[in-house]
Structure formats: structure tokens, C-alpha cells
Amino acid sequence: METALVNGITIPHLCYKKGLSTTGSCRVCMVKIEGSPGMQAACTTEVVEGMKVITSDDEIDEARKLIVELILSEHKHDCLVCESNGNCELQDLAYELGIERIRFPISKSIEPTEDSSQVILKNPNRCILCGRCVRACAEITVQRVLNFAARGSCTFLISGLDQPLADTDCVSCGACIQACPTGALTEKLSRFQGRSWEFRKVQTICPYCGVGCRIELNIKNDKIVKVYGVEEGPANKGHLCVKGRFGFDYVHHKDRLTTPLIKHNGKFEEASWDEALNLVTAKFKELKDKHGSDALAGLSSAKCTNEENYLFQKFIRTCFGTNNVDHCARLCHASTVAGLARAFGSGAMTNSTQAFERADVILVTGSNTTEAHPVIGNYFKHLAVYNGTKLMIVDPRAIELTEYAEIWLRQKGGTDVAWINGLMNVIINEDLYNKEFVENRTENFDQFRKVVSKYTPEKVEKITGIPEEKLIAAARMYGKADRGSIVFAMGITQHTTGTDNVLSLANLAMLCGNVGREGTGINPLRGQNNVQGACDVGALSDVYPGYQKVSEAQARKKFETSWGVKLSPKEGLTVVEIMDAASKGEIKGLYIMGENPMLSDPNLNHVREGLENLDFLVVQDIFLTETAELADVVLPGVSFAEKEGTFTNTCRRIQLLHKAIPPIGKSREDWKIIMEISKRMGYPTAYHSPGEIMDEIASLTPIYGGVHFDRLGEQGLQWPCPSRNHPGTPYLHKGKFTRGKGLFTPVDYIPPAELPDEEYPFLLSTGRILYHFHTGSLSRRSKPLDGIAPEGFLEINPQDAEKLRIKNNDWVRLSSRRGKLKVKVKITNRVDKRVVFMTFHFAESAANLLTNDALDPVAKIPEYKVSAVKIERI
């Protein structure tokens, strides 16, 4: 079947779907094969050399017709009100085969539609039992919620133990809807809002996490009605998570900012663009004249495009005249960039998500992948179950992936350097390391070896709580693997030792020769849709586009020549430092584009102090966020659906966005707003389109050197792509590290900045949940997402809960040295004793009131993952 489809030969089919296993159950794809008796199902028959196949003749067509008639006799024909009318494979088949009349009685018993899920409607009357949804749920999402019951003449589709979908483990990804050939599974919220032929279809990139899923927006009357995963999308191959598929309705939310706002006497009033822009420029000019360039700063946005980020940092550097420009990458992967740049010479994911299947062992640490990067997380589950890939999870919480792991090491929060050193201690002692690689491709091994030799499994057990024998087993597993891939996220980076943690992982990969080949590497999963890109194009205080250092005269000169202004040689302030400087009165004016530090930054009380102390704050966003409420001027930007440009995903893939709808109200594309302010501040720029901005980026940024819009197409390009005809780079450091030789760095274990004590006896860790994103300014304005997860919670171990006499759903007061909040309790074994976990999405119980703003000395990333708290019953 696959061979036929690839070669443009049509064989009618229903139960076959590309990417899923085959069952040959619908019998529609019957063909004749020379030398074999009767007919065979094309989908389950493998092609062999010289095989002669007849895909259609009178006999085959008659048999197909009969089969489709039988299927139709068990299907309710309510095409008039069916969501899938016009997009129904059964309907198409009946038409193609010319079935005018069904010779059998229509015998479907009519059952009610199951609508318990927030997003999925299950209509059993339209189900033809092809099993595509069952396989999608089992093989793509690996959730296995759907199945057939009572197989035989009365087979029916169930979820869980024949329960309503909402009561099962369903993660609402909608893979079943996309797999369904009829209207048995449809999008609940899109009901009666349009059918296939009424939609304008625009392909673009999902605005949530860094996986970079390609999506198809289905639009009617300039309103997004439905979203499909694009089967050819390089990062997702058609798959999406609940946020990508159903979390788009924020685009049309009534809270969208539609006009500029200016604050008069503490109250926002609507203003014209001219008024707002003139005020913004006048104030920034005045502050610059009075207090100097370094009294101004800007926060750029990992939600915005590469082109907008490039323009933003260019604006701050040219018009403000300072390097005080940073963005939330500082809060998530600054330590990755610092650590990997030092060890390898390049601070990005070394390999591609597509090639994880080549790995024998995947070590996942500090990444709750199935919730934070669901499409990759589901892929890991798929590899563990169907591909024999061994998963090794190192995480203080019993996250979902631990259930699929060969080995799970549960370390105490903030002890990562110790267990990684321990692992390497065993690998070196047991002679499992790759001597050839170490000798030829790295340096400083002996120094490093000395430090590692101190970390015996016994010592490591004392620090981390990981039993000796488990550590040894894990070391053997990773050490013996031909291809080992390391995957990590905030659990590694958001520590005062974040850079040390990353350096340790880099040591581990180099020790086993796991760099520079497919299916190996060090793979930081980036959290925002374009956080990789925002870093790449220089929205960081210490580097210009392409990580060219501000402090290096040669790089500075290059940008001075191109931009035609004198640039500051001084490295700028980082996110947390900007807030700090603001509260001290050193920063007077701040321009924030698409960030919400009032929820995202650590120690929120301190952030508020800083923002309130500013003379002038401009916030450009699509909603009046917690931060925007403190602004003097609010400028309405647009969402991903209203603009063109590029996002760079977690594995360095630059992908093209397509404008799907016009800006809402009087809102304007962000790059146009920056251009306007820039012009009014005396630095006119004249770009006609984001494509022109990318051409400028390419001319100044060697890793993007060959990137032009006309080359990006459906698959995008992975940087480094230095020249016009370079095909892009799927994995880095092949044959040679970016810096030449890989550098081993001896790293000693240092405890976190703040540990539990008598007064604050619990260790608080923070993170994401599946249904929300970052500060929730988008996901909390999505009806289905907020419907599924309307409030924050505190995870606590059953034993601790009992000691504190707390029950599930009780409210407690949680406090740290920095702040306090009220939150509901969820009792679960996911967290260990003396450890609690909270998400940071909810303004009502904002975890970052409590978190510690102690910084990693190198990367300036705060320690979100460890702070000491106490819990009191209310």
C-alpha cells in the first residue's frame, strides 16, 4: 500500500493510515497478486521484487463495492449535520465506487453521543470500527485509552473501562480525531462552525513550546475554527498535543488588546497609535538624555519571530544605545548556552528530535517531557514500547516517563553534579569509556578525571539519595550503549549550579563518545516556540546575533558598520539584574515586548517593586497581562496567526510562519511597531517585509548565513546553514567540535543556595503541567485548556500530608522567605517526602512569589527548582 501511494497509484482504503501499524481489517484495499489465490489486503502485504499486482478490475471493484455497502449498513447516514461532511473518507469512497443504493438493511442501533471530554466528541453511530483511533492512541500518544470491546458481531469502541472519556487517562491530544476517517470523533468546540469546503487553510507553526509542530489552521470568516497537525511537519509528523490542537481560541478572546492604551491617573485610556508612539518616543528620549543610555532597557520575547527579536535588539542597541536587552531564555536555558558554549563551542541542541530513534539509550533528566514537550514525550514512550529504546530517567519526581523507564534514579533536588560525577566515576572505573574519542577529540581529561575519582557511588548515595547499585546499573547502561542521547530541560538548568550541571552532562557525553553522531548528543529541550531563535538573533545582553560577543571589538565593529551607529562595548544587564537595577532606581525606562515577568520571574514581590519604581514602562502584548497592568503605555501587538516571519525550534530548525488572519482591531504586527518607534527615535529603518529582515540577519549572522525565506518551504532549515546552497545541519560537532576540541571541565558538587531547615522544612520545586503554558496569558484564555485545568495545585506526598493533617483539595498557606500564597493540595506519590511541587501558570497562586532569585554566577539563571518553604493549614 505504502509503495503504491508513494508512486501515485490509488488503492481505495479505510483502516490504513500512514504512520500507524496495519491490520488489514476493513478489506477495502483488496488487490489481486499474480501467483496468489483470491485477493489480498494491500496494506498488510509486503512488496517483493517482481511482484505483479492488479489494483482494479471488475471482480475487485465488485468486491470493494460489496464491502463498502456492508460498512455503510452499519453507519448512521447523518451527513447533513456531520462535521466531517466533505472531509469523510467513507463518503468519498461511496462516491468513487458509485454506490447509489445500499442493498442491505441499515442496522446501526442508535446510541447517544459521548460528550464528557472538553474537546472530543465521540459519536458511536458514525463509527465504522476501522481502529485507526485505537492505533493512534496506542502508537502515537501511547496513552492506550481507546480500544474495542466485545470483539465479534457487537464490537464497539470504548475508552478506559467503558467510561466517559473525561474519566479516563485521556490527555486530549486529539490524535484520534485526526485519525478518524468519518465523523465518529470530532472537535467538540468546532461543532456547527464550518465544514471542510468552507475553510481557508493556512499552514503555520504552533505558538506554544519549542518542539515546532507544523499546524494547519482551518479558517472561516477570519476565525480559526479547527487545527490539524501537518503530516509532513518535520517535528511532529501530524501529531499535536492538547495545546497545539485545541488551545488556539485565545487568538479570538474578547480580552485581546485592540487599541493602544495610555495610563492617566492610574487608569488606562484608549489612545491613537500616533499619541501612544509619540509619548513613548518622547519619554524614552527624555530619560536617555537625562540619565544616559544605560538607564534604559528592553525585554524581548521568545514568543515573537526571529525577525522581531532581531529588530528589537537592534532597536535597543542602536536607539537606546545600551546592551540592556534580554529575554526569558535567561530564565530557562542561559546555563545551557553558557555550559555548552564552553565545552563544545556552540550552545544549542546538538542533535535532531527526528533521530532519537537511532539511540540505544536516552537519558532524560530534569525534563517532564510528556507535559512540557508532549509531542517529543509521546515519541519517547513510543520508542520505549515499540522500538526497544531504553529510557533512563533521572528526576526527583515520579513523572509519567518513569513508567516507561528501564532505570529511574530519584535524586534529591539540586544534587545533579554529584550523580553525574558518580555515573562517570563508575564508567571510568569499569573501563566503559570511549578512549579513542577522549584522546582524539577532547582535552583536559586528566584534570577532570581527578575530580570525578572522588565521587564514588557510596559518596554519591549520601549526597543524592540514589542507591549505589542503581547508580552502577545506570552507569553500565549508558556506558555500554553504542549510541546514548542525553535530553534535559529546566530541572538541570534552573539552579545556581545550572552551568555546572550542563558542563557535567557535556563531560558525560564526551566521555562515552556520544557527540557528533546521529542518535547521540546533548539535547536541551527549549521551552518556548522561539526561544532558540530569540537567542540566535541576539536578544541577549552579552551577544549580538549569532552569539558574536558584545565585548569583542571585531564583532562590535562589524555591527557598527552595518547598523551605522556607535555601539556600547559594555555587556548589558540580564533579566533578573534589570529588575534589580529598576528597584534600585538605576533603570528608569523599560520596554517589554511579549513577556510577563510579573508571573515568570523569581521572587515576584521584588519584581513588582522594580517595575513600580520605573519612571516609564511600555508593554507591547496581545493581552493586558499582570505586567501590562503596571505599564504607562500599552501597545497592542498581534498573535502568531496574524503575522509572517520565522520561528526556530528546539533542534535549530528555522521554520516559516504564514499570516492566517488580519490583525485584530487596531493591533499591529510587532515588527511594524518596533520600526515605528525606531523611526521616531531618529533611526529610520525601511523593511517592507519580515523576509527583508531575515536577509539582513543572514548577512550578519554566520550560522544563519544561507537562510532566506524562499528556501524554507515545508521542511525549514537547521542551522548552521552558512551559505545559500548549504543544506542545513541535522547534528553538530561531526568530526570536530565547533571550538576544535571538546573541553572536559572538572566540576565539584555545590549544594543549592537555599535548603530546607527547621523554619522552612520543605523543598519546593516548580514546573509546568500539560494543559497550560508559561504564565498562562495564552492558555488560561483558552476555553478548553482552562476548562480542563482551571486552578493551580501543590503536590505533596501522602505521608507529609498525613503528618500535617491535610486532605486532598484542602487549601494551605505556602510561604518562603520571600512571599506567601494560598493553594489547593493534591496528595500524590509523584513527589518524595519533604518535597513539594507547584506549577507557575496561575496568577491566583503564583509560585514565583516564593522562588529564590539567587543566580548562577556564570549564566545568571535563577534557582527556580529549589527553595525552602513551609506549609500551614488554613
Partner 1 sequence: MKLRNKEKDVIALLNKAQRENKHNYITEDKLKLIAQETGLSYSEVYGVATFYSLFSLKPQGEYVIRVCNSGPCHLMGSKSIFDVLEKELKIKIGETTADGRFTLEEVSCLGICNEAPAMMINEKVYGSLTPQKIREILIGLKKK
- Label residue 442 exposed, middle or buried (CB < 10 Å: 0-12, 13-18, 19+): buried
Confirm or reject binding of residue 829 to partner 1 (CB under 8 A): no
Binding mask 354-373 for partner 1 (x = CB under 8 A): --------------------
Note whether 110 binds partner 1 by CB under 8 A.
no
Task: Give the CB-side neighbour count of residue 473, counting CA atoms within 13 A.
Answer: 14
Which stretch, 149-157, 311-319, 341-349, 568-576, contacts partner 1 (CB under 8 A)?
Answer: 149-157
Asked if residue 523 lies in contact with residue 438, where contact means CB atoms within 8 angstroms, the answer is no
Instruction: Kindly state whether residue 51 participates in binding partner 1, applying the rule CB under 8 A.
Output: no
Q: Would you say 805 and 591 are in contact if contact means Cβ atoms under 8 Å apart?
A: no
Contact partners, residue 826, CB within 8 Å, separation at least 6: 793, 794, 795, 796, 808, 809
Amino acid at 369: T
**Per-residue x/- track, 166-195, partner 1 (CB under 8 A):** --xx--------------------------
The set of cell numbers assigned to 251 is 487568538
Q: And the C-alpha cell for 146?
A: 481507546
Q: Which residue, chain included where needed, has cell 540505544?
A: 360
Binding segment (CB under 8 A) for partner 1, from list 212-220, 239-247, 398-406, 747-755? 398-406
Q: Which is nearer to partner 1, 168 or 529 (CB)?
A: 168
Least distance in Å: CB of 258 to partner 1?
A: 46
Question: Per CB under 8 A, does 117 bind partner 1?
Answer: no
By CB under 8 A, tell whether 146 contacts partner 1. yes
Query: Helix 416-429 crosses helix 468-480 at what angle (to 10 degrees)?
Result: 60
Q: Cα–Cα distances in Å, from 86 out to 83, 105, 182?
A: 8, 25, 10
Of 4, 43, 90, 145, the one binding partner 1 (CB under 8 A) is 145
Three-state secondary structure call for residue 32: strand
Among 108, 144, 263, 672, binds partner 1 (CB under 8 A): 144
Give 215's strand partners. Answer: 204, 229
- Of 485, 480, 390, give the one whose Cα is nearest residue 433: 480
Told to check if 375 binds partner 1 by CB under 8 A, we report no
158-166, 310-318, 551-559, 842-850 -> range binding partner 1 (CB under 8 A)? 158-166
CB of 143 to partner 1, least distance (A): 8
* Bridge partners (DSSP) listed for residue 867: 764
Q: Which residue has the cell 482551571?
A: 790
> Which amino acid does the sequence have at 797?
N
Greatest distance between any 2 Cα atoms in the chain: 91
Which of 47, 149, 553, 750 touches partner 1 by CB under 8 A? Answer: 149
Does 385 sit near partner 1 (CB under 8 A)?
yes
Report if residue 404 touches partner 1, rule: CB under 8 A. yes
Q: How far is the CB of 195 from partner 1 (least distance, A)?
A: 31
> Which residue in the set 2, 270, 403, 872 belongs to the binding site for partner 1 (CB under 8 A)?
403
What strands lie across the sheet with 589-593, from one edge to the other?
Answer: 267-270, 261-264, 633-636, 616-621, 589-593, 296-299, 325-326
152 sits near partner 1 (criterion: CB under 8 A): yes
Residue closer to partner 1 (CB basis): 467 or 730: 467
When binding is defined by CB under 8 A, the residue of 2, 57, 59, 162 that contacts partner 1 is: 162
SS percent in the chain: helix, strand, coil, step 5: 35, 15, 45
Alpha helices in 565-669 (DSSP H): 575-583, 597-600, 604-612
Q: How far is the CB of 152 from partner 1 (least distance, A)?
A: 7
Position 158 contacts partner 1 (CB under 8 A):
yes
Residue 106 or 149 with smaller CB distance to partner 1: 149
Distance separating alpha carbons of residues 855 and 353, to the nearest angstrom: 30
**By CB under 8 A, residue 111 contacts partner 1:** no
Interface region with partner 1, contact rule CB under 8 A, candidates 156-164, 299-307, 578-586, 646-654: 156-164
Q: Which of residues 406-435 bind partner 1 (CB under 8 A)?
A: 406
Q: Which residues contact 105 (CB under 8 A, 6 or more apart)?
A: 73
CB 158, min distance to partner 1, A: 6
**Does residue 161 belong to the site contacting partner 1 (CB under 8 A)?**
yes
Closest C-alpha to 791, from 829, 841, 835: 841
Q: Give the one residue of 143, 346, 496, 851 binding partner 1; rule: CB under 8 A.
A: 143
Residues that bind partner 1 (CB under 8 A): 143-152, 158-163, 168-169, 381, 384-385, 403-404, 406
